[in-house]
């Protein structure tokens, strides 16, 4: 009975990988970059809004890149100091004083109002300031995190893509830092799993039914933000980037999501504990705090990622070549679809067969996220813990 179960699981896993490879929006391809674009006849105005909470460690590597944007139109940077205790706001002013570039405003909204997450409260304050600081409100808002560094032409290329394709939201998944051992094992897989869940090609279709964005870099038309009622309408969202994209999409906006070429995260995650906190703080929120979704996710991760190597080894040990072949082919498809992401992150191909181990780590992180939630410590970030929306 055990061998029969192993064989059935191996065939089911192989079928899942055939479907993922051929029918899940080609999620594994990494060539979804900014769409074709030309410079507009008139460059629209842009306000760059940066929510920042205790970001003094990374700000010297990110903020100067925003201030140094080579943008032909009118642009400014608004850094919203979200209750920092490490001198983030004062450091930002010193960095701006030491170099020419875009004008910088540093402001603080105070503590979040009840029912708001800290980041969205900061974004609300920054967007309101951008819309009221001048006689006319900006045409676009660039919402970017304090740990994101931009190449000098990043803003220009984002705006050109939005105006050329008549897009309301253009988002790029920043290239995360990959330096240490754990970053090499976990970070490319993080983006791979995200793309598997939200295939970029499928999202970018005009008739798409799903929507997503990467919160580190979101260019948003101001009128689209007003029409969608954001960020007020998503004020309780912990997964704020996906919620933002869904709100814009539901209000009739056109969105685009892809991988970045000119946008990089400078935040280090040197230890497994750092990466664990990064994933587990929002994993259960992604599942809408539903135990049944958690159980289904765990079962799915086991079937898709853990069964193939187990079936290969079991089949070889028990003399069941069909089971071994099914498990081996599923593992081969898994590793093969992971290779493009490893190349994008300039990592060796030898890491591809290790994806089941990384998936096991993500499974444990997801379970831990649920455990922390029920202990009252879920969705915790920099000293704040957020209740699920229905409890907020």
Note the pLDDT tens digit of each residue in 341-378: 999 999 999 999 999 999 999 999 999 999 999 988 76
Between CA 79 and CA 63 the distance in angstroms is: 9
Question: Left if phi > 0, otherwise alpha if psi is -120 to 50, otherwise beta: which for 177?
Answer: beta
Note the helical H segments in the chain: 2-23, 59-67, 88-97, 118-132, 154-164, 181-197, 200-203, 222-228, 240-250, 272-286, 291-301, 307-318, 321-344, 355-374
Confidence at residue 43, expressed as pLDDT on a 0 to 100 scale: 98
Tens of pLDDT, residues 234-256: 999 989 999 999 999 999 999 99
Tell me how far apart the alpha carbons of residues 132 and 134 are, in angstroms, rounded to a whole number. Answer: 6
Q: Is the pTM of this model over 0.85?
A: yes
User: For 169, phi and psi rounded to 5 degrees?
Assistant: -140, 125
In this prediction, residue 383 has a pLDDT band, given cuts at 50, 70 and 90, of low
Pairwise CA distance, residues 334 & 341, whole Å: 12
Closest CA to 85 of 53, 50, 128, 121: 53
Strand bridging mode 169-175 / 217-221: antiparallel
Q: How many whole angstroms separate alpha carbon 337 and alpha carbon 24?
A: 12
302-328 pLDDT, tens digit per residue, is 999 999 999 999 999 999 999 999 999
Mean of pLDDT over the chain: 94
User: Per the structure block, which two tokens stand in for 284?
Assistant: 């259960």
pLDDT of residue 391: 40
Average pLDDT over residues 247-276: 97
Give the model's confidence band at 379: pLDDT under 50 very low, under 70 low, under 90 confident, else very high. Answer: low
Query: Using one digit for the tens of pLDDT, what is the confidence trace for 49-106?
Result: 999 999 999 999 999 999 999 999 999 999 999 999 999 999 999 999 978 899 999 9
Report whether pLDDT(4) > 80. no
Distances (CA, A) of 5 to 12, 19, 314, 334: 10, 21, 11, 21
Extract long-range pairs of 266-269: CB within 8 Å, 24+ residues apart: 266/58, 266/61, 266/62, 266/147, 266/148, 266/149, 266/177, 267/58, 267/147, 267/176, 267/177, 268/177, 268/179, 268/183, 269/177, 269/180, 269/182, 269/183, 269/186, 269/187
**Whats the size of the chain, residue-wise?**
392
Q: How far apart are CA 122 and CA 111, in angstroms?
A: 9
Q: What is the CA radius of gyration of the chain?
A: 22
Between helices 181-197 and 321-344, what is the axis angle to 10°? Answer: 100
């Amino acid at each position: 009975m055990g061998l029969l179960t192993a064989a059935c699981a191996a065939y089911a896993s192989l079928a899942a990988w055939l479907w993922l490879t051929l029918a899940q929006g080609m999620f594994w391809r990494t060539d979804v970059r900014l769409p074709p674009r030309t410079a507009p006849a008139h460059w629209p105005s842009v306000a760059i809004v940066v929510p920042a909470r205790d970001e003094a460690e990374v700000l010297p590597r990110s903020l100067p890149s925003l201030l140094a944007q080579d943008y032909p139109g009118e642009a400014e940077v608004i850094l919203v100091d979200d209750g920092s205790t490490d001198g983030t706001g004062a450091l930002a002013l010193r960095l701006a004083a030491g170099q020419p570039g875009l004008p910088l405003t540093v402001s603080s909204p105070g503590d979040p109002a009840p029912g708001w997450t800290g980041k969205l409260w900061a974004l609300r304050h920054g967007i309101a300031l951008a819309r009221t600081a001048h006689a006319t409100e900006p045409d676009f808002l660039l919402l970017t995190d304090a740990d994101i560094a931009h190449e000098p032409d990043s803003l220009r290329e984002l705006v050109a893509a939005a105006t050329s394709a008549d897009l309301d939201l253009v988002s790029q998944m920043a290239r995360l830092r990959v330096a240490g051992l754990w970053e090499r094992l976990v970070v490319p897989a993080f983006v791979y799993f995200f793309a598997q869940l939200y295939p970029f090609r499928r999202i970018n279709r005009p008739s798409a039914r799903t929507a997503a964005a990467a919160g580190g870099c979101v260019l948003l038309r101001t009128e689209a933000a007003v029409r969608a009622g954001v960020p007020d309408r998503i004020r309780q969202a912990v997964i704020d980037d996906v919620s933002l994209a869904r709100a814009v999409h539901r209000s009739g906006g056109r969105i685009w999501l892809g991988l970045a070429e000119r946008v990089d995260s400078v935040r280090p995650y040197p230890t497994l504990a750092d990466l664990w906190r990064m994933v587990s703080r929002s994993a259960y929120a992604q599942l809408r705090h539903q135990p049944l979704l958690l159980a289904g996710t765990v079962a799915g991760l086991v079937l898709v990622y853990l069964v193939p190597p187990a079936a290969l080894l079991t089949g070889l040990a028990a003399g069941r070549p069909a089971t071994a072949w099914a498990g081996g082919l599923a593992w081969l498809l898994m590793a093969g679809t992971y290779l493009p992401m490893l190349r994008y992150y300039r990592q060796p191909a030898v890491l591809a067969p290790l994806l089941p181990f990384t998936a096991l780590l993500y499974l444990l992180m997801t379970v831990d996220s649920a455990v922390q939630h029920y202990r009252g410590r879920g969705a915790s970030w920099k000293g704040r813990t957020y209740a699920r929306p229905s409890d907020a």
